[in-house]
Amino acid sequence: MEQDFALRVDFSDKSDSEAVLVHWFYEPGAYVRQGEIVAEAMVDKVTLSVESPQNGYLKPLVGENDTFPSGHIIAYIGAEAVSPEPLARDLEKSSRGSSSDNFVPASPRVRKYAKDQHVDLNELARTVSHRPLTPDDVDAFLSRGETSRRQPYSAFRKQLIHNLTDPEGLPTTLHRRIHQGSNTWSPLVRIAWAVDQALIRHPEIHGWADSEGFTPAQELRLGIAMATSEGLMVPVVVGSRDGAGWDQALDALRRAAREGIWNQWEMSRPSFVISNLGPWGIEYFTPRLMVPTVAILGVGHGDEDAFPVSLTFDHRALDGAQAAAFLVTLDEVMRSSM
C-alpha cells in the first residue's frame, strides 16, 4: 500500500510569522492532479498558491481561516480514495480547537455559502438545534431578516490587523511641519528622498523593535503604504536612491496599484514606513506602527511652504527627544537642494 504524501507550506524565506489558510479549491476527498493549485494561504499580506505535489486524494488538516507555522503539514495527498464525510468532520474538529463552546455543526460547503451571504454562523446556530446546518437554514435566516449582514474581514485585512496590533508596543506620535523642499519632484518623492538621507544620520530610528531589544537595519527597506482594490498594502523599496530614482520607484508602485499587478511587489519586512494621506486633504493624523518596524511617518496635505508630518515611533526603542531630532534633520534635508 502506498503511503500518503505530506503537503507542507514553507514560507520561512518570507516571514517568521504564521500564515492564514484562505481557502481550499477542492472539497475533502477530491481527486487532485500534480501541479494543480489546491489552496491559497497568506503571510504578511502576500498570497501563496499551494500546489499538489502528486496525483491523489486530498485530505486537508487545516481549516479555512486557521493559522499555521512555516513547514506545517496542512494536508495529505492519499493514493486511495476515502469517504469525504469523515474528512470534513475531522477538519471541523481541528478547526474548532480544544473548546467546543463555539463549534458550529456545518459542512465546509455550508460554511462557504454562509460566508458568501455574510451570515454569522454562530448567530445562525442559535436558531437551529440538534442538527448540522444546511443552505436552507441560511436562506431562512436571511428571509427572516435576523442577521445584521456583517461583512467579515478579508484575509488581507486580518493580516493587516495582526501587523498593526502589538500589546507590548509603546507607540508615541509627534507632530510638526517640515519645509516643502524643491518642487522638482512630487511631494511623496521629496519625502522619500529626505527620509532616505535623514535615516543615515539617525540609525536609532531605522530598524525593528520587540520586547527584547532593538535591531538596527543594515540597508534601507522603505515601506510605502498603498491603497489597492484589496485594501491597504505596504510594498517595500529596497536601497537608497537619488531624486530621480525615487521618482521611478514610486511611479512603478502607483502603476502596479492601478493595474492590479501588485503580486510582483517586494512585501518583506520594512525598516521604516511612510503613509501619505495628503491627497485626501488630511493634515495631521496618528499613523499606526506596523510592528516590529520601529517608526512610521505620516505625511499630510501641505501648503506652498511646509508639509505637516506625524511620526509614530515605538517608545521602547527610543525617546521623544531622539524622534524629535530625526524630524529636525528631516526638515534640514528638505531645505537642502535635491
For a pLDDT cut of 90, what percent of the chain falls above it? Answer: 37
Cβ pair 289, 311 in contact under 8 A: no
User: From CA 33, how far away is CA 51, in angstroms rounded?
Assistant: 9
Of the two residues 168 and 15, the one the predictor is more confident about is: 168
Please give the average per-residue pLDDT across 230-254, as a whole number: 92
DSSP per-residue codes, 102-121: T---B-HHHHHHHHHTT--H
Give the tens place of pLDDT for each residue, 55-99: 988 989 888 878 788 888 999 998 887 766 666 666 655 554 433
Length of the chain, please?
338
pLDDT at position 215: 94
Bridge partners, residue 48, by sequence: 41
- Alpha helix positions (H), 132-176: 135-143, 155-163
φ/ψ (deg, to 5) at 239: 95, 150
Work out whether strand 221-224 and strand 272-276 pair parallel, antiparallel, or are unpaired. Answer: parallel
pTM as predicted? 0.58
Cβ pair 132, 101 in contact under 8 A: no
Single out the residue of 173, 236, 239 nearest to residue 200, CA to CA: 239
Q: Quick one: angle between helices 108-116 and 84-96, nearest 10?
A: 60
Give the tens place of pLDDT for each residue, 287-313: 999 888 999 999 999 998 999 999 999
How do the domains of the chain map onto residue ranges? 5-160, 168-335
Give the tens place of pLDDT for each residue, 6-53: 898 887 665 556 787 877 888 888 888 888 888 888 776 577 888 998
Domain 5-160 part of CATH 2.40.50.100: yes
Question: What is the CATH T-level fold of the domain 168-335, as seen in this structure?
Answer: Chloramphenicol Acetyltransferase (3.30.559)
Helix (DSSP H) and strand (DSSP E) numbers for the chain: 8, 18
